Chain A
Amino acid sequence: MSIVTLQLGQCGNQIGHEVFNAICSDVHGTHGLCSKKENESYHDACKERFFSEEESEVPVARAVLVDMEPKVISQTLSTAARSGCWKYDGRSHFCQKQGSGNNWANGFSVHGPRHKEVIMNLVQKEAEKCDRLSGFFTIMSMAGGTGSGLGAFVTQCLRDAFPTSFILNHVIWPYGTGEVIVQNYNSVLTLSHLYQSSDALLVHENDVIHKICAQLMNIKQISFRDVNQVIAHQLGSVLQPTYTAENGSRYSRNPLGDLMETLVPHPEFKMLGLRNIPQMPENFLAYSTFSWPGLIKRLRQMLIANAKMEEGIDWQLRLPRLGTSIPSSHSTNKPLHFNTSIANLVILRGKEIDSVDLGSFRDPSLYTSWLNPQDAFKAWKTPRAFNKYEKSASLVSNSQFLLKPLDNVVGKAWNMFASKAYIHQYTKFGIEEEDFLDSFTALEQVISSYTTL
């Protein structure tokens, strides 16, 4: 089954481009470290998922590119074509001239309805190219105007037009100290709207990725391209083919469906965080070896202690010992900053994955009480190494990972809203104070739900 990617706004298009780059480079790499047959299965599964068969020398990405100004799409299309490895369908894009001015209301209430038909036609065309559609993967930032506002509108349209398909929104959280002054308003409006139409929100925070670039990747002058490449690697580690526990002989046909089934048992809880280890500069890879027990232990502690990356993990924080699996309010036993999970998904790629013991992730103390721990944890694996990493482990977690960042964004937005600053810029395009209040209410509800896990 195939995934259609929607790249929305400057951020969405820049990241999407790096994602397809990462996927292609992974598939064509000679570091699969597995049998030829395995490699071929992987290649075929990946191709079906992300690329369409067309009479062209290079695979064509299953993607729709949307932006309200032309420069980024123009660059993205030409850079991809120049790679010689893959390209976009030359007709599968839509742009305008003016941009959205970082104004969510402009993206949502003006550009959205105005261009709905054209955009949905492009989506329909891409969907029709798929033998079977698994769902949609939308990439957007929530700080600006197009990705955020138009993105929220398009997600709603996707839900209406494809009621049975899965929608995974990849949302970029901006740097805490401003990229955009009204970023918190745009974020609150985006998140509250996405929550209604999306199946899950997979989040990347710029601050976190920036730290990874600085401390793990040793990059001195970090560019957005560097940041986007790390994000693309992490996304690739989730979206590339794997075997699920149920079927060890064929690569999973329905990655998005599997993801949702595992991680989103309840519609009130849709915020997914992503961790991937190890991460290091490419030239270090040859000199590094890792053991699976070591990686698993580290990943688990990152989950418990809500560590954003594999350095600086708080190892002191421990799960309390539970005598028996009493499904009552054990929240009183837990230290305050222990990260409670609803569900977790671990993805392992590379050598010797069969020997890995993931029992520690099934510990009931990790999870909230209303799910059976057996259902709360899943593992996907493949012996096929990913992107030159001999061993790579990813964790996609529906937990309190994003509680604090969400609370921060809502708090800052509320603080600004109290002064009514910038509100006239939104009412100009039809988003009223009431709409803001609705969004605040919705998100306070989400915060409350995650807090009382």
Chain B
Amino acid sequence: PVSLPLAVGQCGNQLGCRFWDLALREHAAVNEKGIYDEALSSFFRNVDTRSGGDGPDIYKGKICSLKARALLIDMEEGVVNEILQGPLRDVFDSKQLITDVSGSGNNWAVGHKLYGYQYRENIVEKLRLTAEHCDCLQCFFIIHSMGGGTGSGLGTYVLNLLEDEFPEVYRFVTSVYPSGEDDVITSPYNSVLAMKELNEHADCVLPIENESLFDIVNKIHQMINCGKLGSTVKQNSLVTSSAGSAKIVPEKPFDAMNNIVANLLLNLTSSARFEGSLNMDLNEISMNLVPFPRLHYLVSSLTPLYTLADVNVPSRRSNQMFSDAFSRDHQLIQADPKHSLYLACALLVRGNVQVSDLRRNIERLKPSLHFVSWNQEGWKTGLCSVPPVGHSHSLLALANNTCVKPTFIGLKDRFMKLYKKKAHLHHYLHIEGMEQSCFSEAISSLSDLIEEYNELDATKGGPRTDPSRLKVAV
């Protein structure tokens, strides 16, 4: 089944670029014979380009020319142009791009109301074209940041659009949330306005915070440079690395951080692409991790962060891998799931791990975790046989956990600071379609969401009274 990434805005496209690069690397490592297979078709078309230009799709047989199934949307040309001039230029064609020149000025209203309206038809048309090439479109992935104008505004416009035009296709969103010290002053406005859209129109959201990515990059740096590991680390196993990919140019500062997110998406879709003894598809993730429609924010963690070259003691390492998945410094947002309440948890294991390893670790870790009363055994598990590049095994944990609450509260607080003083509001309100009510509705939506998490947190550690069972006539 096909997953279609839509990269919107500068951040989204930088992330997207890393994703395509690492996806090619992963498939190249697995696909030795150069045959176009079911796994590849999730992300790539196979196009016959021998007669020049865009030939027909080849569904079986040898790989001719791989084209990414994607849309790249940006209201500035810089990032997209760079991609088209870089090593990935042959992976995209012009029909997948939607660009403009002036950008959105870090203004959600410009992205959503202005460009949304302006480019709607164009976007729908290109989506339809791309969807036509897929024989089974299962899921859209929107990749964007929340704090700016294009990714945030136009990105959430596209989210709405997807629900209207393709209601049966799942909508997963990977959102980079701004930090407290974000240098974009209006990022709280942009983020809260975007949150309302995510609340109402996304099936699943994977929030990401730059600080967490940054911390992980530093952690790895330290491990390598403090001499303990040094050259014994497999370079291509680093969750932050581009080693072995198409990117030959020296890595840019954000690349390491973006690679982490790229790896997240690869791991998330691994069981849908590759075989395993217990498959876990994206629709299963949505089904199992979203107990109530609005509570669809999933905290993710990836382990291990690197592999040592001299591989041994598999069992101890796999236990460590499970423990790390629950530690605060492996989460991709600033959150501590262990001390908050779990609504549900998914574990997707790749590589040389069997069901007994899963069971043993769940039994071991369960006592230290708090699960909501109606989901005491709320675990969803998947086993994919194919490990990521450079690893013998890996684990992706997705938690629907109240530990997202602080992130949302932080957003709300920073929003209110600006909103009380009506700072910068005029930049938004003079855009056609924007009214004061957009702001009040957005903050209300966020407050309601926070309240839902509060109510759940209130049940934590409380007494458990199971509801009495149905009585039947004997």
- Contacts from A to B (Cβ < 8 Å): 10, 14, 69-72, 74-75, 96-103, 145, 175-182, 210, 213-214, 219-225, 227, 410-412, 414-416, 418-419, 421-422, 424-425, 437, 440-441, 444-445, 448, 452
User: Which of B277, B287, B359 is close to A175, meaning CB atoms less than 8 Å apart?
Assistant: B359
Rounded to whole angstroms, the CA-CA distance of A209 and B177 in the bound complex is 46
B122 to chain A, nearest CB (A): 28
A444 touches B136 (CB 8 A): no
> Contacts A98-B136, A181-B379, A444-B472; is A418 near B275 (CB within 8 Å)?
no
Residue in A72, A98, A418, A445 whose Cβ sees the most chain B Cβ within 10 Å:
A98
Rounded to whole angstroms, the CA-CA distance of A224 and B281 in the bound complex is 18
Give the residues in chain A near B354, CB-CB below 8 Å: 221-224
Give the residues in chain A near B291, CB-CB below 8 Å: 421-422
Q: Decide if B82 is an interface residue (CB 8 Å cutoff).
A: no
Rounded to whole angstroms, the CA-CA distance of A181 and B366 in the bound complex is 15
B255 to chain A, nearest CB (A): 32
**Listed stretches B4-12, B13-21, B212-220, B463-471; interface member:** B463-471
Q: Decide if B289 is an interface residue (CB 8 Å cutoff).
A: yes
B2 to chain A, nearest CB (A): 9
B380 touches A452 (CB 8 A): no
Rounded to whole angstroms, the CA-CA distance of A355 and B394 in the bound complex is 55
Rounded to whole angstroms, the CA-CA distance of A97 and B467 in the bound complex is 39
Give the residues in chain B near A75, CB-CB below 8 Å: 275
Rounded to whole angstroms, the CA-CA distance of A102 and B38 in the bound complex is 21
Rounded to whole angstroms, the CA-CA distance of A444 and B474 in the bound complex is 10
Rounded to whole angstroms, the CA-CA distance of A224 and B467 in the bound complex is 35
User: Which of A181, A223, A425 is close to B380, meaning CB atoms less than 8 Å apart?
Assistant: A181
| Top 5 A-B residue pairs of the complex, sorted by shortest distance between their CB atoms | A101-B283, A178-B379, A97-B136, A222-B356, A421-B291
> Contacts A222-B356, A418-B374, A441-B472; is A98 near B283 (CB within 8 Å)?
yes
A221 touches B287 (CB 8 A): no
Q: Decide if B135 is an interface residue (CB 8 Å cutoff).
A: yes
Q: Decide if B392 is an interface residue (CB 8 Å cutoff).
A: no
Give the residues in chain B near A224, CB-CB below 8 Å: 277-278, 354-355, 383
B288 touches A181 (CB 8 A): yes
A69 touches B277 (CB 8 A): no
A181 touches B375 (CB 8 A): yes
A211 to chain B, nearest CB (A): 11
Rounded to whole angstroms, the CA-CA distance of A213 and B360 in the bound complex is 14
Rounded to whole angstroms, the CA-CA distance of A416 and B371 in the bound complex is 13
Rounded to whole angstroms, the CA-CA distance of A414 and B467 in the bound complex is 8
Rounded to whole angstroms, the CA-CA distance of A100 and B286 in the bound complex is 12
> Contacts A180-B288, A214-B356, A441-B470; is A225 near B277 (CB within 8 Å)?
yes
Give the residues in chain B near A219, CB-CB below 8 Å: 356
How many interface residues does B have (CB within 8 Å)?
A: 47
Q: Enumerate 14 A-B pairs (CB-CB under 8 Å) in ascending A order.
A: A72-B279, A74-B38, A75-B275, A100-B283, A178-B379, A181-B288, A210-B355, A220-B356, A221-B356, A224-B278, A411-B469, A415-B374, A419-B374, A440-B470
User: Which of B281, B284, B355 is close to A222, meaning CB atoms less than 8 Å apart?
Assistant: B355
Give the residues in chain A near B38, CB-CB below 8 Å: 70-71, 74
> Contacts A99-B279, A99-B284; is A178 near B374 (CB within 8 Å)?
no
Residue in B138, B356, B362, B466 whose Cβ sees the most chain A Cβ within 10 Å:
B356
Closest B residue by C-beta to A224: B277
A416 touches B287 (CB 8 A): no
Q: Given known contacts A103-B283, A177-B363, A416-B374, what 14 new A-B pairs fall within 8 Å (CB)? A: A98-B283, A99-B1, A99-B283, A101-B284, A178-B378, A182-B287, A210-B356, A219-B356, A410-B469, A415-B467, A416-B375, A419-B374, A440-B470, A441-B470
B210 to chain A, nearest CB (A): 31
Per-residue CB proximity of B271-296 to A under 8 Å, as 1/0?
00011011101011011111111000
Rounded to whole angstroms, the CA-CA distance of A182 and B289 in the bound complex is 9
User: Which of A10, A14, A221 is close to B357, meaning CB atoms less than 8 Å apart?
Assistant: A221
Q: Decide if B377 is an interface residue (CB 8 Å cutoff).
A: yes
A444 touches B469 (CB 8 A): yes
A315 to chain B, nearest CB (A): 28
Give the residues in chain B near A210, CB-CB below 8 Å: 355-356, 359
Closest A residue by C-beta to B295: A421
Rounded to whole angstroms, the CA-CA distance of A10 and B279 in the bound complex is 8
Q: Decide if B344 is an interface residue (CB 8 Å cutoff).
A: yes
Closest B residue by C-beta to A71: B275
B306 to chain A, nearest CB (A): 23
> Contacts A222-B355, A421-B291; is A414 near B470 (CB within 8 Å)?
yes
Rounded to whole angstroms, the CA-CA distance of A439 and B442 in the bound complex is 41
From residue 327 to 359 of chain B, which have CB atoms closer than 8 A to chain A? 344, 354-357, 359
User: Which of A70, A178, A225, A410 is close to B381, meaning CB atoms less than 8 Å apart?
Assistant: A178
Rounded to whole angstroms, the CA-CA distance of A97 and B1 in the bound complex is 6
User: Which of B373, B378, B470 is close to A444, meaning CB atoms less than 8 Å apart?
Assistant: B470
B316 to chain A, nearest CB (A): 13
Per-residue CB proximity of B282-315 to A under 8 Å, as 1/0?
0110111111110000000000000000000001
Rounded to whole angstroms, the CA-CA distance of A444 and B469 in the bound complex is 9
> Contacts A71-B38, A415-B467; is A98 near B138 (CB within 8 Å)?
yes
Give the residues in chain B near A221, CB-CB below 8 Å: 315, 354, 356-357
Rounded to whole angstroms, the CA-CA distance of A443 and B275 in the bound complex is 35
Give the residues in chain A near B363, CB-CB below 8 Å: 177
Give the residues in chain B near A96, CB-CB below 8 Å: 136
Rounded to whole angstroms, the CA-CA distance of A412 and B378 in the bound complex is 11
Closest A residue by C-beta to B283: A101
User: Which of B287, B357, B379 is close to A425, meaning CB atoms less than 8 Å apart?
Assistant: B287
A143 to chain B, nearest CB (A): 10
Give the residues in chain B near A225, CB-CB below 8 Å: 277
B377 touches A178 (CB 8 A): yes
Rounded to whole angstroms, the CA-CA distance of A74 and B275 in the bound complex is 10
Closest A residue by C-beta to B285: A101
Give the residues in chain A near B138, CB-CB below 8 Å: 97-98
> Contacts A419-B374, A444-B469, A444-B472; is A102 near B284 (CB within 8 Å)?
yes
Rounded to whole angstroms, the CA-CA distance of A173 and B238 in the bound complex is 39
Give the residues in chain A near B275, CB-CB below 8 Å: 71-72, 75
Rounded to whole angstroms, the CA-CA distance of A14 and B279 in the bound complex is 12
Rounded to whole angstroms, the CA-CA distance of A135 and B474 in the bound complex is 33
Give the residues in chain A near B344, CB-CB below 8 Å: 181
B287 touches A101 (CB 8 A): yes
Rounded to whole angstroms, the CA-CA distance of A232 and B138 in the bound complex is 34
A101 touches B356 (CB 8 A): no
Rounded to whole angstroms, the CA-CA distance of A99 and B283 in the bound complex is 8
Give the residues in chain B near A74, CB-CB below 8 Å: 38
B466 touches A411 (CB 8 A): yes
Give the residues in chain A near B471, CB-CB below 8 Å: 444
Give the residues in chain B near A14, CB-CB below 8 Å: 277
From residue 401 to 427 of chain B, which have CB atoms closer than 8 A to chain A? none
A415 to chain B, nearest CB (A): 5
Rounded to whole angstroms, the CA-CA distance of A224 and B358 in the bound complex is 11
Rounded to whole angstroms, the CA-CA distance of A424 and B287 in the bound complex is 10
Give the residues in chain B near A182, CB-CB below 8 Å: 287-288
From residue 438 to 469 of chain B, which have CB atoms closer than 8 A to chain A? 466-467, 469
A421 touches B292 (CB 8 A): yes
B381 touches A179 (CB 8 A): yes
B303 to chain A, nearest CB (A): 19
Give the residues in chain B near A69, CB-CB below 8 Å: 1, 279, 281
B264 to chain A, nearest CB (A): 21
